[in-house]
Amino acid sequence: MTEKNTPLLDELEKGKWPSFVTEIKRAAVKSEAAGELLQVLERSYKERRGHWKHGGIVGVRGYGGGVIGRYVDEPQTYPNVAEFHTVRLLQPSGWFYNTKTLRTVCDIWEKYGSGLTNMHGSTGDIILLGCKTEHIQPIFDEFSEAGFDLGGSGSCLRTPNCCVGPGRCEHACYDTLEACYNITNEFMDELHRPMWPYKSKIKFSGCANDCTSSIARSDCSVIGTWRDTLRIDQEAVKEYAAKMNIKAAVCDKCPTSCLTFNAETQELSVVGEDCTRCMHCINVMPKAIQPGKEKGATILIGGKSTIVQSAFMSWVIVPFMKMEAEDDFAEFKDLMRRIWEWWDEHGKSRERIGETIYRLGMTKFLNGIEVAPVPQMVFRPRANPYVFWNQDDLDRSGTALDGSKL
Amino acid sequence: MVFKMARGPADPEIKAKVLEYLGKVQKAKSRDVAVAIGASKSDVDNAVKELTAEDLVEYLYITTTFICLKGKVQTPD
């Protein structure tokens, strides 16, 4: 029945890709809510406006986040989705499950909710779509019994997220899975009880490939890096040279031109201090080039999507921090507390930390969190509008305001 | 400068002041509560944490998160 009434949605089933419409139609066979969801969505496409209201009070006792209130604006027309709340569950680091756990999630959700899931949304959480207000507490109680907890929503720490890291990836420069797990457990209050001007996100990527897109999608990006030099296996370089043009594919695409391939000796060399750890050469020649041995992470701040201001990429505030032992995590946690304290004091309502820094200046922010400016924060003096240099600094650096040499 | 968020049991006096203030307003951000009752933000956050667990206060999301007395604010149209 729904297929006949959803000509616009039906278009989204065409092509070779999986379709969320097909999946909702499958759910609609046994869920009236899923069927009405299709009707609401079709109508929204036709009228080009949404029919959902968002927010209000929906939650479980003692928690301020984890459930997002959704209400349809014509409950009399769509009674089965009159209340269609979203539940976020904290995901395991790296999204590793066994089948028993996945069955448990689905069984509880089919018992109380629409049966629709989003594994995993842009937040990283297990997202369960569509339940009634009366079922929220029982859902939480059963998931708690099964070992799950709610994720973040509202003006709190959102569920921290990480790449698969050393669980499956040779490029990981630190254990993203352990860092995410350890640091999430530390900040449970911040996750469950919204207390800030707006949301705050932490994402952990094991290397500069940044598989969590942390630099654009998190207030704090923790990106794996190394502080010594690339390790090059010259025998493996020779094997690559036999099947590819290393100069064209690797050296010419190096953003800082720090790699040189000697065609005569078939050897690759690097000027370590010029390398920006972009990962391009490693991605192209993974058997020949590895990150250095002294690994850790770069901490960046301020990434976000558009709301008060336009979208921001995050800025470097700590070029290198070890992320191996509990002491290293303690250093990161202390830094985060200082950052949130400053933002909580100075941020306006609905202002992400990047926007507060944009409004008040990086200098005030760095002073507030007691972090000294370092050269890695900028490309060159005046290249970054948030770090201001005195004339004496510029004279000493030999660089003019436009970046040219004096 | 002390950066750590308050831990441990909340101050009963601050909890009472939070409840009294929330009785006078429809909803508030916890920072506004802290300013109004002359307490530190972290102490208010800690008090609110206990008050929500005691079912006396609840969180309300209207474009950002507010706090209010339990049952005082209905879901907006």
Kindly report, residue by residue over A88-99, the tens digit of the pLDDT.
999 999 999 999
**Secondary-structure class of domain A161-227+295-372 per CATH:** alpha beta
Q: At which residue do the structure tokens 């290293």 appear?
A: A328
- Two domains, one topology: A7-145 and A161-227+295-372: no
In a domain, B77, yes or no: no
pLDDT tens for residues A189-209?
A: 999 999 999 999 999 999 999
Residue A182 has pLDDT above 60, yes or no: yes
Q: B49 and A63 in contact by Cβ < 8 A? A: no
Architecture of domain A231-290: 2-Layer Sandwich (3.30)
So what's the pLDDT on residue A3? 47
What is the distance of C-alpha A372 from the center of its chain? 26
Task: Indicate the domain borders of chain A.
Answer: 7-145, 161-227+295-372, 231-290
Q: How confident is the model at residue B1 (pLDDT cuts 50, 70, 90)?
A: very low
Find all residues with CB under 8 Å of A401, minimum gap 6, and list them: A381, A382, A394
Q: Is residue B3 part of a domain?
A: no
| Helix, strand, coil fractions of chain B, as percent rounded to 5 | 45, 15, 40
Query: Chain A: residue nearest B62 by CA?
Result: A55
CA distance B16 to chain A (A): 18
With a cut of 80, say whether residue A228 has pLDDT above it: yes
| Nearest residue, CB atoms, A194 vs list B59, B74, B77 | B59
Which tens digit of pLDDT belongs to each residue from A50-107? 999 887 777 788 898 899 999 999 999 999 999 999 999 999 999 999 999 999 999 9
Q: Which of A125-139, A330-344, A388-402 has the lowest mean pLDDT?
A: A388-402
**Domain presence at residue B2:** no
- What does pLDDT average to over chain A? 91
For residue B57, what is the domain's CATH number? 1.10.10.10
| CA B44/CA A196 separation, integer angstroms | 12
At residue A387 the predicted structure's pLDDT band, cuts being 50, 70 and 90, is low
Question: How far apart are alpha carbons A227 and A261 in whole angstroms?
Answer: 22
pLDDT of A306 over the 90 cut: no
3-state DSSP assignment of residue B46: helix
Digit-coded pLDDT (tens) for A261-288: 999 999 999 999 889 899 999 999 999 9
Select from 3.30.390.30, 3.30.70.2500, 3.40.50.460, 3.30.2020.30 the CATH code of A7-145.
Answer: 3.30.70.2500
Between CA A202 and CA A111 the distance in angstroms is 32
ipTM: 0.84
Q: For residue B62, what pLDDT band results from cuts at 50, 70 and 90?
A: confident
**Using the beta-carbon criterion (under 8 Å), do A155 and B65 form an inter-chain contact?**
yes
Identify which of A174, A311, A297, A293 has the alpha carbon closest to the alpha carbon of residue A230.
A293
Chain B residues with CB-CB distance to A350 below 8 A: 63-64
pLDDT for A153-173, tens place per residue?
Answer: 989 999 999 999 999 999 999
Residue B5, in any domain of the structure = no
Q: Does A338 touch chain B (CB under 8 A)?
A: yes
Question: What is the longest distance spanned by two Cα atoms in chain B?
Answer: 43
Select the more confidently predicted residue: A293 or B8: A293
Contact A164, A314 (CB under 8 A): no
Best to test chain B binding among A191, A193, A355 (most B CBs inside 10 Å):
A193
Q: B37 lies in which domain range?
A: 12-69
Q: Chain A residues with CB inside 8 Å of B3's CB?
A: 334, 337-338, 341
Q: Is residue B57 part of a domain?
A: yes
> Is A393's pLDDT higher than 80?
no
d(CA A352, CA A198): 6
What CA–CA distance (Å, rounded) separates A196 from A344?
6
Q: Is residue B25, in this structure, part of any structural domain at all?
A: yes
Number of domains comprising chain B: 1
CA-based angle A150:A156:A159, to the nearest 5?
45
- Which candidate in A51, A57, A134 is best for mutational testing of the B interface (most B CBs within 10 A)? A57
